[in-house]
Amino acid sequence: MTTATTQPGTLYLIATPVGNLEDMTLRGLRLLREVDVIACEDTRQTRKLLQHFAIERPTVSYHEHNERPRATELLARLQNGENVALVSDAGQPALSDPGLVLVQAAIAAGVPVVPIPGASAVPLAWAASGLATPGFCFLGFLPSRTTERRRALERAAQLPMATIWFESPHRLCASLDDLAAVLGPDRPLVVARELTKLHEEFVRGTVATAQAHFAAQPPRGEFTLVVGGWEANQVAVATGDHDLVVRMKELLSQPGMSERDALKTVAREWSLAKSEVYRRWQACAVAHSAPH
């Protein structure tokens, strides 16, 4: 006697609008109507989407505080043949939102995982930034603590491509101050606010531009930061830091002055991180040594 083996269901990762509900895809809507259950980062938020499109399906919460036990429950349902949709409050689930634990468990168990495309703040912000960079690197939310945030920025400082970060309104100004300290106030920066929503806004220019703008207008809404890449910034920094180069050379001409001490002095005088002074100093050296 043989026993029929239950075929596993499918885990659908369904992207939802980041603001404008008209950005919901037809395929995503169809699947939300067909699945057995919808796992939501916030059931109240997802309910607004479902009600707007007259969708009535069972929902369960799936967020950072219950991710592991709920992933176990959902995996059991998938292995029993049910189809599950995973959605976050906005954008692509498992992209800086809960989902990774369930995705990994499904893959390990041989359950099909199907991503359903849709809106995401990351490519939207990059495409509209106007920054000429060889691609981008998305690094999620900036750390909440100043020390960790500056370390994260220092690690990404010399990446040749644009770096994209999410940030909350109550930390935006502090993060802009850290960007200025670590990368310099002249680093190209585009701040995208409230993407696809009624009050969508792009603040384009430099870190200093954004600092001035949000000092005058307190930050509100959701923010995506697109930071210009290092290589694209090298020539601009090198040609614009004549005074820094002059000061470095002046200090190094003094008896007993090491490069390290000169960097410390200039960092203190210019209110910059020593690592940023070093990068600018090296960029100038490269620019001046390049063949013309």
pLDDT tens per residue across all 292 residues of the chain = 334 568 999 999 999 999 999 999 999 999 999 999 999 999 999 999 999 999 999 999 999 899 999 999 999 999 999 999 999 999 999 888 899 999 999 999 999 999 999 999 999 999 999 887 778 999 999 999 999 999 999 999 888 899 999 999 999 999 999 999 999 898 999 999 999 999 999 999 999 999 999 999 999 999 999 999 876 455 445 445 667 778 888 899 898 899 999 999 988 887 777 877 887 787 766 555 444 4
> How far is it, in rounded angstroms, from Cα 105 to Cα 127?
33
> How far is it, in rounded angstroms, from Cα 171 to Cα 224?
12
Residue 218 exposed, middle or buried by CB count within 10 Å (0-12, 13-18, 19+)? exposed
Query: Global pTM?
Result: 0.76
Q: How many residues does the chain have?
A: 292
Quote the pLDDT of residue 160.
87
Rounded to 5 degrees, what are φ and ψ at 250?
-65, -45
Quote the pLDDT of residue 35.
98
